[in-house]
Amino acid sequence: MVGESFRVLCATSTSWLAPAEVPRLFHRAGARVTLLGPSDAWALRGSFVDDWVQASGGPRAVASALAAHLRTASYDWIVLGDDPLLAAVGARADEPWARTALPVAPDPVRLGLLGSKVGFVRAAEALELPIPPSRVCAGRDEARAALTAWNTAGILKQDGPSGGEGCHALATPGDVDKLPAAVFDRPVVMQLLVPGQTLSVEAIYDRGRLRHAVTSTMVRAWPSPFGASALRRFVDHPALIALAQEIGARVGCHGFANITAVRDPGERLHLIELDLRPNALFHLGQALGVDVASTLRAILVGSPVGAVRRLAPDVDVEVPVFPTDLLRCLDQGDWSGVRAWALNRGDRWRWLPQGDRRMRRALGAYVLRRFAQRRLARPAPARAPV
């Protein structure tokens, strides 16, 4: 199909920011992009969606709409853009249309990686991926017992929330009893808290083979400590690249992946997250000299796999992440940070999504709306008695 227009479908069931840039990236790779999802899908606020198939009603309804659409249309690449939709399509993995859309083989182990923290732990153990000591716990007693056995701090992760929500740091077994009962309505993951640096990889896989990797260290999260990246330091991490290659070989994944690991004081890497979908930072590769569009094009064309496209060894730059860092500045009253964004100090605008004014305006409006909502939700300060 060299020289022809490739057809890509991006499907989403929510208004997540994560897949917002996917149409622009594939457009730059020479593809025509169809968006299947609700009217408030972030990708529709940009300029690079060629066709829209409306689908709403939640992940299961969108999965059914995707099934119906794929009976009448075919694509060179299908991207499932959010965890709920990945789980919904994975639940129908025995159907032929679903197998064409999934980023992993439809076996029970690998399907557990799709949108589930509980499934991730079970799959990682079965595939012998290097995760910290972890247990799936059905209730408060089992969670307390895990912490007691480890005799050290841990993290409880609810199975469902994303972006750091639903994560609870627990110093002692007694802290389990302080959590609301609703936390234990479903099985949870208890994971030993590994001290060290949090590292990330934005990766592209070609049927299990790593073709693109941008590595970074999380310097600041917002909301702290388990929220999205607000400040990252981008630098080449050879050991992290090796881990990403090992993950590809063991999982056999295809397409976008976000990998999060902790490097302990002994330099060992512990895998803590593996999301087989896009995130909001893949566009940064272009500014860092590792353009993801060329990798997408190479996979679409079927170019032979060569060396992994990765950061140059001399790259070492801290990047304030838009819009998360700007939201942090507004929430914390960091007005010098707000001014830095407004005046482009430190070349901050270099890291904004480029080439799409519509998307940039939409993101600006989103920041203002989020800020206003949080301000209105805060209780008014107590008035002094008169």
* Predicted confidence (pLDDT) per residue in 231-262, tens digit: 999 999 999 999 999 999 999 999 999 999 99
Q: Which of 93-97, 274-278, 330-334 has the weakest average pLDDT? A: 330-334
| CATH (one of 3.30.470.20, 3.90.550.10, 3.40.50.920, 3.40.50.720) for 195-321 | 3.30.470.20
Q: Which of the four pLDDT bands, split at 50, 70 and 90, describes residue 380? A: very low
* Predicted confidence (pLDDT) per residue in 164-173, tens digit: 788 999 999 9
Rounded-to-integer distance, Cα 252 and Cα 233, Å: 28
Q: Which helix (H) or strand (E) holds 150?
A: helix 140-150
Beta strand pairing call for 6-11 and 31-37:
parallel
Asked if the model's pLDDT at residue 365 lies above 80, the reply is yes
Q: Cα 26–54–79 angle (5° rounding)?
A: 30
The pLDDT value recorded for residue 2 is 42
Q: Which of the four pLDDT bands, split at 50, 70 and 90, describes residue 214? A: very high
Asked if the model's pLDDT at residue 36 lies above 90, the reply is yes
Q: Which of the four pLDDT bands, split at 50, 70 and 90, describes residue 109? A: very high
Does a cis peptide bond (omega within 30 degrees of 0) precede residue 195?
Answer: no
The pLDDT value recorded for residue 381 is 41
CB 156 within 8 A of CB 207: no
Q: Which of the four pLDDT bands, split at 50, 70 and 90, describes residue 62? A: very high
Q: What is the CATH number of domain 6-102?
A: 3.40.50.20
Take residue 232 and report the two structure tokens written for it.
Answer: 């990252």
CATH 3.30.1490.20 fits 133-192, yes or no: yes
CB 139 within 8 A of CB 183: no
Q: What is the mean pLDDT of residues 312-341?
A: 94
CB 131 within 8 A of CB 272: yes
Q: What is the mean pLDDT of residues 315-334?
A: 94
* Predicted confidence (pLDDT) per residue in 260-311, tens digit: 999 999 999 999 999 999 999 999 999 999 999 999 999 999 999 889 999 9
The pLDDT value recorded for residue 379 is 54
The pLDDT value recorded for residue 241 is 98
CB 284 within 8 A of CB 201: no
Among the listed residues 259, 216, 221, the one whose alpha carbon sits nearest the alpha carbon of residue 234: 216
Take residue 354 and report the two structure tokens written for it.
Answer: 């480029």
Q: What is the mean pLDDT of residues 23-52?
A: 97
Q: So where are the chain's domains?
A: 6-102, 133-192, 195-321, 323-373
Sort 151 into a burial class: Cβ within 10 Å, 0-12 / 13-18 / 19+. exposed
Q: What is the mean pLDDT of residues 35-55?
A: 97
Task: Give me the torsion for CA of 218, 220, 226, 228, rounded to 10°.
Answer: -80
